[in-house]
Amino acid sequence: MRIDILTLFPEFFASPLKQSILRRAQEQGAVSFRVIDLRDFTTDRHRTADDRPYGGGPGMVMKLEPLVAAIRAVRAEDEAVRVILLTPAGGLLTQKKVQDLAGRGHLLLICGHYEGVDDRLSHYVDEELSIGDYVLTGGEPAALVVADAVVRLLPAVLGCEGSAAEDSFQTGLLDHPHYTRPRVFEGHAVPEVLLSGDHAAVARWRRQEAIKRTLRRRPELLSRAALSPADREFLARLTEISEQQDG
Ligand SMILES: C[S@@+](CC[C@H](N)C(=O)[O-])C[C@H]1O[C@@H](n2cnc3c(N)ncnc32)[C@H](O)[C@@H]1O
């Protein structure tokens, strides 16, 4: 896979792309990154990429010309590239969307700054994505969030660092709790079943803990989760117990 990032601040990516999974994925050849300096697509002496807003008001707006020129240059190399603008006004990034993006061969992530980009850029991008209901200073951290979430889903990238298949949201549920040594820490013990060596009991316990945790913390996820008849029975029991406790 190839991920291009269009930004006014290319240096922002220097360290993060060299760490952990993102570095390893590049070394394995699973992904290649290219950070594109938007100012390389400006045409004036001052390399101007922003201007004052029509209608007045504070802040600057990112100009269309360099953005569109950069998009066209990338599309000329690969017309199948998926062009994504990062903006708080975009569709919310979910694990389902991350899976969809991981299945594409080439992404171009566009980072806004200042008050954002000239709204007419919507005619030139394939989609607009938000990483959450809060406002960042620029799209750079959002592009990293997208890149990290996507790359860890690429085949063989996680290796021994874990399995994406059981991550939170991947199954429609939050992940089950994890523990490592010591067995007891300041009076807090690891659940006995995890020490039992009974793989079926461990798998059952993990599934049930994931359901319990989702019910307590993110109950709205349960309506969309893929639940087996045994899961549903367990959930019904949990709900019954919690109703008895409330009543
Ligand atoms: C200061 S923000 C612009 C905020 C804009 N005036 C608003 O209120 O929606 C500058 C840039 O940061 C990025 N950004 C900020 N919050 C974001 C979010 N939640 N998701 C994705 N990108 C975001 C976008 O690229 C945006 O153009």
pLDDT digits (tens, 9 = 90+) for 28-48: 999 999 999 999 999 999 999
Cβ(86) to ligand 1 under 6 A? yes
User: For ligand 1, what atom is nearest to the CA of residue 93?
Assistant: 20
Whether 114 maps to a domain, the answer reads yes
Q: Which pLDDT belongs to residue 159? A: 75
Note the Cα 212 to chain centre separation in Å. 24
Cβ(139) to ligand 1 under 6 A? yes
- Measure 146 CA to ligand 1 centroid, in angstroms: 14
In this prediction, residue 201 has a pLDDT band, given cuts at 50, 70 and 90, of very high
Tokens found for residue 176: 């089950």
User: For ligand 1, what atom is nearest to the CA of residue 89?
Assistant: 9
Residues 75 and 136 in one domain: yes
Ligand 1 pocket: which of 135, 137, 146 to mutate (most atoms within 8 A of CB): 135
Cβ(115) to ligand 1 under 6 A? yes
Q: Which pLDDT belongs to residue 160? A: 60
Cβ(87) to ligand 1 under 6 A? yes
Whether 86 maps to a domain, the answer reads yes
Q: What is the mean pLDDT of the chain?
A: 96
Judge whether 62 and 117 are in contact, CB under 8 Å.
yes
Question: Rounded to an integer, what distance in angstroms lies between the CA atom of residue 202 and that of residue 181?
Answer: 17
Cβ(182) to ligand 1 under 6 A? no
End position of a domain, from candidates 145, 160, 175: 160
Residues 45 and 143 in one domain: yes
Question: Rounded to an integer, what distance in angstroms lies between the CA atom of residue 88 and that of residue 91?
Answer: 8
Of the chain, the percentage scoring pLDDT greater than 90 comes to: 91
Radius of gyration of the chain (CA): 23
Q: Which CATH number does the domain housing residue 232 bear? A: 1.10.1270.20
Q: Which pLDDT belongs to residue 167? A: 83
Above 80 in pLDDT, residue 166?
Answer: no
Whether 173 maps to a domain, the answer reads no
Q: Which pLDDT belongs to residue 242? A: 86
Residues 124 and 197 in one domain: no
Nearest CA to ligand 1 atom 23: 87
DSSP state string for 73-84:
HHHHH-TT-EEE
Whether 214 maps to a domain, the answer reads yes
Question: Rounded to an integer, what distance in angstroms lies between the CA atom of residue 144 and that of residue 62?
Answer: 20
Average pLDDT over residues 195-200: 98
pLDDT digits (tens, 9 = 90+) for 203-244: 999 999 999 999 999 999 999 999 999 999 999 999 999 888
pLDDT digits (tens, 9 = 90+) for 85-116: 999 999 999 999 999 999 999 999 999 999 99
pLDDT digits (tens, 9 = 90+) for 67-84: 999 999 999 999 999 999
Residues 151 and 44 in one domain: yes
CA torsion through residues 33, 34, 37, 43, sign: negative
Residues 153 and 200 in one domain: no
Above 70 in pLDDT, residue 245?
Answer: yes
Residues 66 and 122 in one domain: yes
Residues 23 and 139 in one domain: yes
Judge whether 125 and 84 are in contact, CB under 8 Å.
yes
Tokens found for residue 212: 């319990």
Count of structural domains within the chain: 2
Judge whether 147 and 90 are in contact, CB under 8 Å.
no
By annotation, the residues acting in catalysis are 88, 115, 152, 167
Residues 63 and 156 in one domain: yes
- What Cα–Cα distance (Å) separates residue 16 from each residue in 12, 126, 160, 238? 8, 26, 21, 42
Whether 73 maps to a domain, the answer reads yes
In this prediction, residue 161 has a pLDDT band, given cuts at 50, 70 and 90, of low
Whether 172 maps to a domain, the answer reads no
Residues 50 and 95 in one domain: yes
Ligand 1 pocket: which of 109, 114, 119, 136 to mutate (most atoms within 8 A of CB): 136
End position of a domain, from candidates 118, 144, 160: 160
For 216, the domain range is 184-246
Cβ(142) to ligand 1 under 6 A? yes
User: For ligand 1, what atom is nearest to the CA of residue 117?
Assistant: 27
Residues 104 and 190 in one domain: no
Nearest CA to ligand 1 atom 1: 137
Whether 145 maps to a domain, the answer reads yes
Residues 10 and 104 in one domain: yes
Average pLDDT over residues 137-163: 91
Whether 74 maps to a domain, the answer reads yes
Question: Rounded to an integer, what distance in angstroms lies between the CA atom of residue 86 and that of residue 32?
Answer: 20
Judge whether 150 and 109 are in contact, CB under 8 Å.
no
Q: Which CATH number does the domain housing residue 101 bear? A: 3.40.1280.10
Cβ(66) to ligand 1 under 6 A? no
